[in-house]
Each structure stands twice: as C-alpha cells, then as structure tokens.
Amino acid sequence: MPIDLLAEGYGRKLLSSPHIWTVVQAAAAIGVVALLKFYFGGARCRSERVMHGKVVMVTGGTSGIGAAIVQELATRGAQIILLTHHAPTDPFLVDYIEDVRTITNNELIYAEQVDLSSLHSIRLFATKWVDNAPPRRLDMIILCANIMTPWFGTSQKTLDGLEAEWAINYLSTFHLLSILSPAIRAQPPDRDVRILFSTCSSYIGGKLELQHTESASKSGSTSYARSKLAVMTFAYAFQKHLDSYKRPDKQVNNARAFIIDPGFCRTPGTRRWLSGGLIWGLFLYLITWPVWWLILKSPTQGAQNYLLAAMDAEYGRGAGGKMIKECREYEPLRPEVKHEEVAKKLWEFSEKQIEQLEKEGAVKRALAKKETEKNEKNVPDSAADGTPVPSAGKKEATAGSRRSRKAK
C-alpha cells in the first residue's frame, strides 16, 4: 500500500493523491498533542550522582512523587528510610518495600512507623534517632508528605486538634527537623547534607493566619495555601538556623535546605482534590482523564526537580536556601517568606503550639493509661456461674497442644 501511494503520488501529483489531506490533518493533530505534552511535561534532570552509601530519609515515599523519587534514588544505590504511618507488619507496606527492592535491585530499603498527624509519634521517632551514639549517618531528608482537602470540602482535624493541612504539611516538618537538628549539624564536614522541602504555587495566595490553625477551615484550598506558605517561610529560616551554628571543628556549615515546586502532577492527592473524594467525582475524572493526562505531569516528571536538588553537584557547595522549579532556580513571588520578623513570629508560634499540644497529649495518655489499668483490675476472676475466666496475659490450652498434654 505505501509503495502504491508513493508511485501514484509520483506519477500524478502529491496533492491529487487520495486521502492526502486526511493524512496531513492527522499528522498535524498528533504533532500539536505531542508538542503540548512535551511542554506540560516540564524540564528533566540531567544530573548524575553516585548515591551508594548515602542515607536518605523520605516522608510520603509510598505514593505519587515520593514513590518516584524513592525508586530513582534506590536504583542509584541509596539507602532509603521511609517514614510512614503504616505499621511495619502492614501487608501493603511489606509488599511495597519488597517490590521496590526487586525493581531497584537494592535491599537497603527500610521503613519506620511515624504518624505525621501525631506530634507524640514524631517525637518518639526523632528522639530515638538523635539519642544514638555515635550520631547516625544522614545525608538527605526529602519531605514529600502532603495532604490536600477536596476543593469544596472542609478541612479535617487531627487527634491533636489541629487542622490537617497545617499539622501534616507544615507542623510535622517543623517538629521533625527541630528535633533532628543536632543530628544534622553533627554530620562530618566532608558530608553533603541536603534537606528538600515541598511547596506548591498555591502559596502565592496563602495568608499566615496562625490563630485559625486549631480549627477546621471551611475551605481546604485556603488551609492548603497557608500550610505551603508556612513551609517556605520555615525553610528559609531553617537554613539561617543551620548557618548560625558554630561547629566544634571550626568548619563551615555543610547542610543546605532547598524548596522544591514540582508543578501540577497526576498524584493521588490531586486526583482526590479534582474528584472531591466522591464516587461521581471520580467517574467525572475518569471521563476527562485525557485532558489531565495532557496538562498534568506524571509523578516521575514531577520528581525531576527533587532529583536535581538531590544529585546536582552545584547544590552540594555554596549557600543553601534556594527555590527550584522546572529544574531552575526561582525567586519566591512572596518576598515576605524571607523576612526575619515573619519567620521569627512563625517559629515562636509553632514552638508554643507544639509545647501546649504535647502537654495536653501527655495528660490524655496518662488518663487513658490509668483507665486501662483500672479496667484490668476490675476484671472478675470467674463468671457468675463459676466458670473461670482466662487471664488476659495467659493463653488458653487448646486440645492437642503441648500445654494441654502437660496439664494432664
């Protein structure tokens, strides 16, 4: 068929060949779609770095952009420590880690149970890490954990009584890094330590209304934008905090903070936001999926900015505190994120909020413990009909077991 068409086009004229305009129109349409896909796909990371022996701590590393980052760094030989709210024995987490180990041919993939919506859970993990002697190696912290309420939904509250976006997107980061700060500063001077924060262009419309963070916001978009603005302000302040530390060995600070904007991506969080968390919304999302496929990045494409900040040699020297978007450095469109007064106010508010909530949480746990002990003491040794009630700490002897045979 192609030979016949070429022969006919040569013998007659190309424009007089059958279906030539259909072919031209189809080629033009495919070309436009390809160009749009290339444009919306964003820049790609071209940097290379040997990651063997590097210890990388990742939040939000089991889905979306975080999972793409984990797979790429693990392929390069990095040791990955996933901070996840799943229990170590959770079937999903066990299968996920096994799959990553198989795909990347890297057995150094581990998980620590840390619930970022709980200040107590964060403190338990972070203090255990810091109390280790000598200090554990830590080359990188990648903060990808994120929650976004559907566009017409109301923000949820955590067990600590905080707005979910504020607690998970910002305050968990502040709490974790505040405790891990000694471990970060204790790293040898020849070690390149990088901390990667996550942001979003929604920070441009955010307002640091700190008094509203302990109540569920009527607008999920408002609370999300506020949390991202707070993250950026804290990131710049944390870089100054690291730079101000005087090392005992008189060496310069070797830890650098970077703010990463991955762009708009087809992550589970974005899908939930677009669908509103509803069945009919998900159905509508599936119908319009070709549009989202075209204009939204895939998780792998969104991970390129993180990979650049993690591997580029340029970011391993010089000053930190830089914002990276589309694999280039950008200046924030909200200049107040670099103001010391704004950062000081946010830092002091966050410390007081955490202190207050941890005290309240400690009281609640103590009361719950006393209630549990009281209930255990009130458990009767036998039922009303005289039948013995087995103790909670003892196992019943089942027929055919070694315990039952020994009793006989």
CA 127 to chain centre: 20
For residue 73, count other CB atoms closer than 10 A to its CB.
Answer: 27
Are 233 and 171 contacting, i.e. CB atoms less than 8 angstroms apart? Answer: no
Cα distances (Å, whole numbers) of residue 390 to 377, 381, 387, 396: 14, 8, 10, 7
Are 95 and 71 contacting, i.e. CB atoms less than 8 angstroms apart? Answer: no
User: Helix H segments across 244-330?
Assistant: 268-275, 279-287, 289-295, 299-302, 304-311
Q: Return the structure tokens found at 263.
A: 């762009």
Place of tokens 């505190």: 321
Q: Return the structure tokens found at 275.
A: 């669908």
Residue 24 buriedness (CB in 10 A; 0-12 / 13-18 / 19+): exposed
For residue 392, count other CB atoms closer than 10 A to its CB.
Answer: 7
Separation between Cα atoms, residue 322 and residue 53, nearest integer Å: 26
Residue from 44, 37, 68, 34 nearest 268 by CA: 68
The four Cα atoms 52, 81, 164, 322 give a dihedral, to 10 degrees, of -20
Catalytic residue among 54, 228, 322, 325: 228
- The residue count of the chain comes to 408
Q: Return the structure tokens found at 240.
A: 């100054």
At residue 242, the 3 state secondary structure works out as: helix
| Partners of 374 in beta bridges | none
Cα distances (Å, whole numbers) of residue 272 to 18, 162, 283, 285: 48, 21, 12, 9
Identify the helix (H) or strand (E) that includes residue 94.
helix 91-104
Are 271 and 11 contacting, i.e. CB atoms less than 8 angstroms apart? Answer: no
Are 138 and 187 contacting, i.e. CB atoms less than 8 angstroms apart? Answer: yes
Separation between Cα atoms, residue 292 and residue 241, nearest integer Å: 40
Q: Is 228 a catalytic residue?
A: yes
List residues with catalytic annotation. 228
